[in-house]
């Protein structure tokens, strides 16, 4: 997906892992730990364990060696969690640094008014207010976001989009928006500043990938609460255990209770939660989408209805020749021949497509005659064509214009063809040689290849697609059927679009749409997920909650996937984390109470070396599993569009059942190693 | 063995045959479509200053319930303390001491019906009939009202109201509990259960000796004790007493009556939320847990005590503490039903079950009384687990979790997570506290891990609002009466208030239509996930203490070690 060259590091590349390791220690700062209740509890308990182990060591107690090891591994648990977060942040930061490098240090050329482009005063961009005018000239980097007020220029936007071909930016219309950090290749522009210093697009992107201003998303908050609840339950379980143990006269060393507590609380998901969030945002930025809030990304995973503009999204937006339909008494070949000659010098997409169709149908090779005179299309004549040296004149054009040209109404047969093409959503182009009508070229709005499959994919995910078009209902229905959308809105106006969104929402559905024009702004704001094209007007960009730098309307599908993957990763790792506890009980409980009730050895299904090694192995497993899952947290759990039931079945099997089984194997393996090294 | 299997199959088939139509009838009742006592209903509601058309938000609904229970508690407390000066006290019993009255009042108001007292030797007929039986009806009706309100909340579309507590309470009593109890009491009386206002009569025994046998209005109280998942018996030994459970038929009917309304609530729920598949899924989950629990207890009891292998006929199983009339099947089926359904009446002493058999009965309670559970509250307890399971499932399919089209968000998760704390607080913390204070050791009858089981069972029974006694635990002390009372309140309102709050919050939400991306909550997959959630939460909370209690006892027994 990405066209970015910088900052494509391996998951745990040394450039990232090195600083992250240091960062993991810095994050031991209580203020930083306090943001994550599970890991904060772990750190507190590690501190207690350290004190206990130190006291035991000084007193020369029997549990000193095992106590110190447990304390060390508890700290590792915290550090590994910090490390996971730091790696995610580090990867984001690498990307942010690449963005930051494009920020211009040069002073902005501030204009006093539009009238005089020479009255320029240089000023630091940090002190340029919204609404002020600045001049940007060829070779300059545009210092901040803005709207073009005057001028036409080509802009190199590769710094943010990765697309190397320069794009045209001009005042008025839907290409008036410029982004800070991009560079003017030619000409000049007068730009009205639209972003406050520090709040430009680039700044937002940097903040987003660095996770600096990351706010917890709604589902993340809910999950946090659930994890805190589970932590409390386990706190009660562990705190009351000494009383119940005392019933049989068993004294459980506090260090073991500490170990039990940390292995039971959901440290795995707790440790990886923020890494999952940051990595999700980074995946989004990698897809060249900037989210104004994490909420929008999550909402993208929830949407039920996707509104898509027909032109440019579903169809190429250019009408292309689809068939030659000759008049009675004319062969198709003859019509194609004439159409080809008339279009050879025609540089419009329609003209090119006619040449292409003629080549495809009859293998007609284009052989332009040297003295042929091309007659370009004009709004006045509404036709184009060619005057051949032999005096022949070939014309193609709108049916009424051609009728006027031939001086007589079109023959009923041709008229019928024209009407039929029109009613099917196509455009008829009548061809005449020396005023004799040869037939009609069927121009059609061509649906993009593979878009049908994409819609089918969305349907499997439970998302309904609605095509929005200004066409009449007949045309719209034809294209909708061809593209495979579920529904369409024909003769759309901004008001009808807004009304459609409101209606869907009132029925409880979440609606996503993308748009670029100013008239899209109300609908973008109303939609639950509004993706604004970066080429769009400032109003549209302001109204949307996501901005696509590639200005690719099908990007919404990508965003939906990222949103879903974010939730799935959290859910899967939570399930895994909780399921792990079963095995940990089977390791630790017999170890604690074997002395009092030797029969409890039946619970020791893993056959662990000794009570000490069992507890130590469980603690070590608990710490290492965080590291082992960092790649999954960063890449996200694999997601292929499928029905909810299929997804759940798969994830329950992998992460639920896997979560039950894996720790039995892991703890046993670690126990063998611990025994081998005589650590306990 | 084959006969046992057949009996169980018959029992289960009959349960479904009763629960499905009863569920439909109850749904109609809560919808206001059952009107045969309309004048009485209207008069009662008018007296209460409300009307069937008045709707309450969840806060008013919960407040009404709390106020009703507070008043009920105060009244019952006074009746018990002053029973010596009140009428219908033929045996001239004294007033109850404050802590016992507190415990008993809480116990009956919370539908627990834990009995720290011995019924026939402590309470006057007035206390039994006016005090306890009243609460037998209304505490059950209050629980049923909660379930109706929660179902309404889930079915509502952007509404603030979840019904009217007074209306639900009245309808549950008038149309469901009263008719059911009257019919069942008559059947019981026909079967030989005493129903009289006399206190006792003298009988001549077979050996010619003379004996005073206590009787009283037994049939009427037993009928509602079973139907309303109350469980408080007329006699101290509950349905093991031949007057409280005279024949095999009363035993069978009682067991059915225990589960009838809780099981029917699944189907009521399905109808009330407008999707019967949802109710069937919950029933399937509960039924699976119930059958598994029964199979485990039955297997444990049939296997018998390993220490007595070869000493007794292996075919009879463990008969200690069981009525010979009922045998292993009749006792274990009752034990599973009464602990699953938060009923608490017993026909055998769970204390005398094998350690594993007793443990499964205890686990039934510790799972949070969601295996059918108490009338109404069993369903809402299950819905709390549904919310947690849906939350995990939703995340795993990549959508904000939804249940019946309602988004499950931070607020609902917070409230549901809060209820996870109820069982560990009531059981683990309060039992540990008793051990630390030394009061636990003073009250248990047996040494070793069995004593711990007796303690755990008492606090589980109280927190789960079950009310069954393991026996072997002297609860009638100031300490235990007080703390068991606290556990009962925790176990009742610690679930009811949060679940009503969830209902209120869900009622106000939009209902999203289901799509292929929505995860269906009526399929087998969801039932599996729900069961896994319940079992894992229960196991993770209680495995350590169960290992120290029943499991330690069982493995020691096998090793030939006694305490």
A641-679 pLDDT, tens digit each: 888 888 999 999 999 999 999 999 999 999 999 999 988
- Do residues A264 and A371 share a domain? no
Q: Could B561 and A599 be called an inter-chain contact, meaning their C-beta atoms sit closer than 8 Å?
A: yes
- Do residues A650 and A504 share a domain? no
Asked if B452 contacts B549 with a C-beta cutoff of 8 angstroms, the reply is yes
Nearest Cα of chain A lies from the Cα of B553 at a distance, in angstroms, of 9
Residue A129 has pLDDT above 80, yes or no: yes
Q: Could B395 and A648 be called an inter-chain contact, meaning their C-beta atoms sit closer than 8 Å?
A: no
**What's the token pair of residue A316?**
């190429």
Q: How far apart are CA B32 and CA B36, in angstroms?
A: 11
Residues constituting chain B? 563
Range of the domain at A502: 297-314+448-549
Best to test chain A binding among B399, B487, B524, B534 (most A CBs inside 10 Å)? B399
In a domain, A4, yes or no: no
Nearest Cα of chain A lies from the Cα of B317 at a distance, in angstroms, of 23
In a domain, A473, yes or no: yes
Per-residue pLDDT tens over the stretch A588-636: 999 999 989 999 999 999 999 899 999 999 999 999 999 999 999 998 8
Residues paired with A428 in a beta bridge = A442
For chain B (length 563 residues), average pLDDT per consecutive 10?
Answer: 88 97 97 92 90 90 96 96 89 90 95 82 84 91 97 93 95 96 96 86 87 86 91 84 92 95 97 96 97 96 85 82 89 95 91 94 94 94 96 89 91 95 97 95 91 95 91 90 96 96 94 82 93 93 95 92 85
Q: How far apart are CA B326 and CA B334, in angstroms?
A: 10
- Do residues A155 and A222 share a domain? no
Nearest Cα of chain B lies from the Cα of A613 at a distance, in angstroms, of 19
Residue (of A262, A265, A136) closest to A578 by Cα position: A265
Give the long-range contacts of residues A345-351, CB within 8 A, separation 24 or more: A345/A372, A345/A374, A345/A386, A346/A374, A346/A376, A346/A377, A346/A384, A348/A377, A349/A318, A349/A319, A349/A320, A350/A318, A350/A319, A350/A320, A350/A321, A350/A429, A350/A443, A351/A384
Instruction: Check residue A1 and give its pLDDT.
Output: 36
- A350 marked as part of a ligand binding site: yes
Helices (H), A247-314: 254-264, 267-286, 294-302
A661 burial (CB, 10 Å; 0-12 / 13-18 / 19+) is middle
Averaged over A523-529, what is the pLDDT? 88
Instruction: Check residue A346 and give its pLDDT.
Output: 78
- Do residues A77 and A217 share a domain? yes
Q: Tell me the CATH number at A473.
A: 3.40.50.1000
- A5 marked as part of a ligand binding site: no
Q: Could you say which of A509, A571, A655 has the minimum Cβ distance to residue B512?
A: A509
Q: How far apart are CA A275 and CA A279, in angstroms?
A: 6
In a domain, A593, yes or no: yes
**What's the token pair of residue A54?**
């130190």
Instruction: Check residue B201 and give its pLDDT.
Output: 85
In a domain, A150, yes or no: yes
- Do residues A531 and A403 share a domain? no
Q: How confident is the model at residue A5 (pLDDT cuts 50, 70, 90)?
A: very low
Q: How far apart are CA A70 and CA A74, in angstroms?
A: 6
Q: Could B398 and A639 be called an inter-chain contact, meaning their C-beta atoms sit closer than 8 Å?
A: yes
Give the long-range contacts of residues A329-335, CB within 8 A, separation 24 or more: A330/A438, A330/A439, A332/A361, A332/A439, A333/A362, A334/A438, A335/A431, A335/A438, A335/A439, A335/A441
**Structural Rg of chain A based on CA atoms:** 34
Mean pLDDT highest for which of A39-48, A341-350, A559-568? A39-48
| DSSP per residue, A378-393 | -TTT-EEEEE-TTS-E
Q: How confident is the model at residue A242 (pLDDT cuts 50, 70, 90)?
A: very high
Kindly identify which residue of chain A lies nearest to residue B549, measuring between CA atoms: A244
Describe the crossing of helices B248-272 and B377-396 by its angle, rounded to 10 degrees: 50
Q: How far apart are CA B97 and CA B476, in angstroms?
A: 10
Whether the predicted interface score ipTM is above 0.90: yes
Q: Chain B within 8 Å of A655 (Cβ-Cβ)? A: yes
Angle at B266 between CA B263 and CA B268, to 5 degrees: 110
Asked if A532 contacts A547 with a C-beta cutoff of 8 angstroms, the reply is yes
Mean pLDDT highest for which of A305-309, A443-447, B66-70, B445-449? B66-70
Centroid of chain to Cα B62: 20
Count of the separate structural domains present in chain A: 4
Asked if A388 contacts A413 with a C-beta cutoff of 8 angstroms, the reply is no
Q: How far apart are CA B369 and CA B461, in angstroms?
A: 10
Q: Please state the φ and ψ torsions of residue A71, each to the nearest 5 degrees.
A: -60, -45
Domain chopping of chain B, boundaries = 19-558
- Do residues A338 and A421 share a domain? yes
B158 burial (CB, 10 Å; 0-12 / 13-18 / 19+) is exposed
- Do residues A338 and A435 share a domain? yes
Asked if A276 contacts A219 with a C-beta cutoff of 8 angstroms, the reply is no
Residue (of A463, A398, A34) closest to B398 by Cα position: A463
Nearest Cα of chain A lies from the Cα of B428 at a distance, in angstroms, of 6
Per-residue pLDDT tens over the stretch A156-209: 877 776 666 777 788 776 677 888 888 888 888 899 888 887 777 777 777 776
Q: How confident is the model at residue A4 (pLDDT cuts 50, 70, 90)?
A: very low
- Do residues A593 and A614 share a domain? yes
Residue A398 has pLDDT above 70, yes or no: yes
- Do residues A340 and A418 share a domain? yes
Q: Could A232 and B391 be called an inter-chain contact, meaning their C-beta atoms sit closer than 8 Å?
A: no
Q: What count of Cα atoms within 13 Å lies in the side-chain half-sphere of residue A260? A: 31
A130 burial (CB, 10 Å; 0-12 / 13-18 / 19+) is middle
Pairing outcome for strands A305-309 and A511-515: parallel
Instruction: Check residue A368 and give its pLDDT.
Output: 62
- Do residues A442 and A323 share a domain? yes
Largest CA distance in chain A: 116
- Count Cβ atoms below 10 Å from residue A109 Cβ, excluding itself: 18
Instruction: Check residue B399 and give its pLDDT.
Output: 86
Q: Tell me the CATH number at A186.
A: 2.70.150.10
**What's the token pair of residue A524?**
């973008």
Residues with Cβ within 8 Å of A119's Cβ and at least 6 positions away in sequence, in order, are A111, A112, A113
B402 by DSSP, 3-state: which? Answer: strand
- A551 marked as part of a ligand binding site: no
Q: How far apart are CA A441 and CA A383, in angstroms?
A: 13
Q: Which residue has the tokens 């499950």?
A: B408
B311 to each of B300, B305, B324, B329, how far by Cα in Å? 17, 10, 18, 21
A444 by DSSP, 3-state: which? Answer: strand
Instruction: Check residue A2 and give its pLDDT.
Output: 38
Q: How far apart are CA B534 and CA A384, in angstroms?
A: 76
Q: How far apart are CA A67 and CA A51, in angstroms?
A: 10
Q: Tell me the CATH number at A324.
A: 3.40.1110.10
Instruction: Check residue A111 and give its pLDDT.
Output: 86
In a domain, A555, yes or no: no
End-of-domain residue from the set A428, A446, A464: A446
Active site residues of A: 309
Q: How far apart are CA B417 and CA A673, in angstroms?
A: 38
Residues paired with B561 in a beta bridge = none
A-B contacts at Cβ under 8 angstroms: 219
Q: How far apart are CA B254 and CA A1, in angstroms?
A: 67
Residues in chain A closer than 8 A to B559 (CB atoms): 598-599
- Do residues A324 and A438 share a domain? yes
Q: How far apart are CA A3 and CA A288, in angstroms?
A: 9
**What's the token pair of residue B55?**
């709707």
- Do residues A277 and A306 share a domain? no
Q: Could A598 and B420 be called an inter-chain contact, meaning their C-beta atoms sit closer than 8 Å?
A: no
Asked if B136 contacts B233 with a C-beta cutoff of 8 angstroms, the reply is no
Q: How far apart are CA B296 and CA B275, in angstroms?
A: 33
DSSP secondary-structure letter at B157?
S
Residue (of B142, B80, B83, B78) closest to B112 by Cα position: B142
Asked if A396 contacts A430 with a C-beta cutoff of 8 angstroms, the reply is yes
Name the percent of chain A lying above pLDDT 90: 31
Q: Chain B within 8 Å of A528 (Cβ-Cβ)? A: no
Per-residue pLDDT tens over the stretch A201-225: 777 777 776 665 567 888 889 999 9
Residue (of A13, A587, A33) closest to A271 by Cα position: A33
Q: Could you say which of A222, A644, A655 has the minimum Cβ distance to residue B397?
A: A644
């Amino acid at each position: 997906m990405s066209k970015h060259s910088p900052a494509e590091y391996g998951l745990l590349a040394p450039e990232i892992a090195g600083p992250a390791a240091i960062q993991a220690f810095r994050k031991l700062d209580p203020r930083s730990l306090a943001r994550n209740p599970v890991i904060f509890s772990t750190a507190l308990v590690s501190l207690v364990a350290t004190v206990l182990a130190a006291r035991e060591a000084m007193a020369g107690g029997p549990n000193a060696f095992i106590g110190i090891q447990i304390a060390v591994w508890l700290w590792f648990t915290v550090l590994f969690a910090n490390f996971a977060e730091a790696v995610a942040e580090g990867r984001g930061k690498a990307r942010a640094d690449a963005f930051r490098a494009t920020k211009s240090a040069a002073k902005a050329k501030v204009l006093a008014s539009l009238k005089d482009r020479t009255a320029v005063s240089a000023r630091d961009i940090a002190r340029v207010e919204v609404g002020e005018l600045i001049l940007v000239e060829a070779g300059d980097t545009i210092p901040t976001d803005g709207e073009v007020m005057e001028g036409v220029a080509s802009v190199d936007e590769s710094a943010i989009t990765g697309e190397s071909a320069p794009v045209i930016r001009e005042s008025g219309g839907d290409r008036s928006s410029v982004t800070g950090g991009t560079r003017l290749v030619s000409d000049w522009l007068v730009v009205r500043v639209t972003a406050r210093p520090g709040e430009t697009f680039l700044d937002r992107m940097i903040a987003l990938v660095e996770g600096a201003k990351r706010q917890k998303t709604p589902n993340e908050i809910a999950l946090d609460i659930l994890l805190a609840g589970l932590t409390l339950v386990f706190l009660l379980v562990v705190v009351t255990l000494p009383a119940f143990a005392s019933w049989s006269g068993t004294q459980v060393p506090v260090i073991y209770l500490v170990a039990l507590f940390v292995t039971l609380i959901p440290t795995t998901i707790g440790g990886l939660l923020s890494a999952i969030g940051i990595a999700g945002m980074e995946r989004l930025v990698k897809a060249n989408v900037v989210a104004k809030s994490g909420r929008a990304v999550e909402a993208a995973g929830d949407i039920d209805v996707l509104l898509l503009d027909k032109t440019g999204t579903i169809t190429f937006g250019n009408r292309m020749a689809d068939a030659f339909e000759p008049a009675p008494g004319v062969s198709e070949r003859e019509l194609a021949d004439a159409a080809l000659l008339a279009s050879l010098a025609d540089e419009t997409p329609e003209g090119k497509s006619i040449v292409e169709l003629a080549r495809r149908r009859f293998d007609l090779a284009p052989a332009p005659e040297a003295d042929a005179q091309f007659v370009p299309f004009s709004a006045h004549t509404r036709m184009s064509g060619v005057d051949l040296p032999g005096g022949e004149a070939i014309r193609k054009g709108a049916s009424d214009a051609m009728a006027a040209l031939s001086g007589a109404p079109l023959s009923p047969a041709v008229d019928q063809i024209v009407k039929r093409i029109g009613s099917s959503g196509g455009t008829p182009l009548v061809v005449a040689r020396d005023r004799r009508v040869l037939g009609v070229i069927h121009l059609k709005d061509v649906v993009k290849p593979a878009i049908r499959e994409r819609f089918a994919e969305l349907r499997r995910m439970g998302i309904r697609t609605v095509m929005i078009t200004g066409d009449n209902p007949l045309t719209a229905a034809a294209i909708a059927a061809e593209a495979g959308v579920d529904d369409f809105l024909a003769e759309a106006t901004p008001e009808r679009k807004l009304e459609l969104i409101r209606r869907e929402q009132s029925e409880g559905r979440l609606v996503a749409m993308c748009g670029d024009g100013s008239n899209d702004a109300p609908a973008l704001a109303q939609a639950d997920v509004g993706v604004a094209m970066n080429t769009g007007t400032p109003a549209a960009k302001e109204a949307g909650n996501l901005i696509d730098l590639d200005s690719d309307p099908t990007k919404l599908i990508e965003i939906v996937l990222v949103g879903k993957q974010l939730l799935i990763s959290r859910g899967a790792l939570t399930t895994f984390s909780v399921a792990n506890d079963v095995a940990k009980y089977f390791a630790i409980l017999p170890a604690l109470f074997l002395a009092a009730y030797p029969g409890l050895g039946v619970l020791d299904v893993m056959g662990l070396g000794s009570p000490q090694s069992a507890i130590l192995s469980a603690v070590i497993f608990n710490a290492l599993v965080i590291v082992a899952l960092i790649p999954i947290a960063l890449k996200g759990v694999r997601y292929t569009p499928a029905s909810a039931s299929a997804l759940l079945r798969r994830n329950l099997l992998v992460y639920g059942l896997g979560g039950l089984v894996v720790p039995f194997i892991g703890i046993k393996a670690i126990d063998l190693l611990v025994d081998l090294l005589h650590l306990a | 063995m084959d006969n046992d299997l057949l009996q169980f199959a018959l029992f289960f088939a009959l349960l479904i045959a009763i629960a499905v139509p009863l569920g439909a009838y109850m749904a109609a009742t809560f919808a206001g479509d059952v009107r045969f006592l309309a004048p009485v209903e209207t008069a009662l509601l008018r007296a209460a200053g409300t009307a069937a058309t008045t709707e309450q938000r969840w806060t008013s609904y919960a407040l009404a319930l709390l106020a009703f229970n507070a008043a009920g508690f105060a009244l019952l407390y006074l009746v018990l303390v002053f029973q010596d000066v009140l009428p219908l006290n033929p045996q001239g019993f004294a007033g109850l001491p404050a802590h016992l009255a507190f415990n008993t009042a809480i116990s009956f108001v919370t539908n627990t019906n834990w009995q720290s007292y011995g019924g026939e030797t402590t309470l006057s007929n007035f206390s039994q009939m006016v005090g306890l039986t009243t609460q037998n009806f209304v505490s059950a009706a209050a629980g049923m009202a909660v379930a109706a309100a929660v179902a309404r909340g889930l079915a509502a579309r952007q509404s603030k109201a979840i019904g009217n507590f007074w209306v639900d309470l009245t309808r549950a009593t008038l149309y469901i509990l009263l008719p059911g109890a009257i019919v069942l009491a008559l059947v019981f009386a026909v079967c030989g259960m005493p129903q009289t206002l006399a206190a006792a009569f003298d009988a001549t025994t077979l050996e010619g000796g003379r004996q005073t046998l206590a009787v009283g209005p037994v049939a009427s109280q037993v009928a509602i004790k079973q139907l309303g998942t109350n469980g408080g018996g007329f006699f101290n030994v509950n349905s093991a007493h031949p007057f409280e459970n005279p024949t095999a038929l009363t035993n069978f009917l009682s067991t059915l009556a225990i589960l009838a309304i809780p099981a029917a609530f699944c189907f009521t729920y399905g109808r009330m939320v407008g999707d019967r598949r949802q109710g069937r899924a919950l029933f399937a989950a509960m039924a699976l847990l119930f059958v598994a629990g029964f199979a485990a207890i039955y297997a444990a009891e049939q296997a018998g005590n390993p220490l007595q292998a070869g000493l007794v006929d292996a075919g009879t199983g463990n008969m200690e503490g069981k009525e010979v009339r009922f045998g292993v099947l009749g006792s274990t089926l009752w034990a599973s039903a009464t602990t699953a359904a938060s009923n608490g009446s017993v026909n055998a002493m769970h204390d005398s079950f094998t350690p594993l058999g007793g443990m499964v009965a205890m686990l039934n309670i510790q799972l949070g009384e969601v295996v059918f559970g108490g009338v109404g509250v069993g369903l809402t307890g299950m819905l709390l687990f549904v919310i947690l399971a849906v939350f995990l499932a939703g995340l795993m399919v990549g959508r904000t979790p939804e249940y019946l089209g309602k988004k499950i968000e931070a607020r609902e998760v917070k409230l549901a997570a809060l209820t996870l704390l109820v069982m560990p607080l009531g059981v683990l913390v309060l039992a540990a506290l008793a051990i630390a204070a030394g009061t636990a050791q003073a009250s248990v009858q047996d040494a070793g891990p069995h004593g711990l089981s007796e303690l755990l069972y008492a606090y589980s029974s109280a927190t789960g609002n079950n009310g069954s006694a393991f026996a072997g635990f002297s609860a009638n002390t100031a300490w235990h009466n007080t703390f068991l009372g606290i556990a009962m309140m925790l176990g009742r309102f610690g679930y009811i208030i949060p679940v009503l709050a969830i209902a209120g919050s869900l009622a106000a939400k939009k209902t999203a239509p289901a799509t292929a991306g929505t995860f269906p909550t009526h399929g087998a997959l969801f039932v599996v996930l729900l069961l896994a959630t319940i079992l894992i939460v229960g196991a993770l909370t209680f495995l350590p203490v169960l290992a120290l209690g029943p499991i330690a006892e069982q493995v020691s027994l096998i090793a030939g070690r006694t305490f």
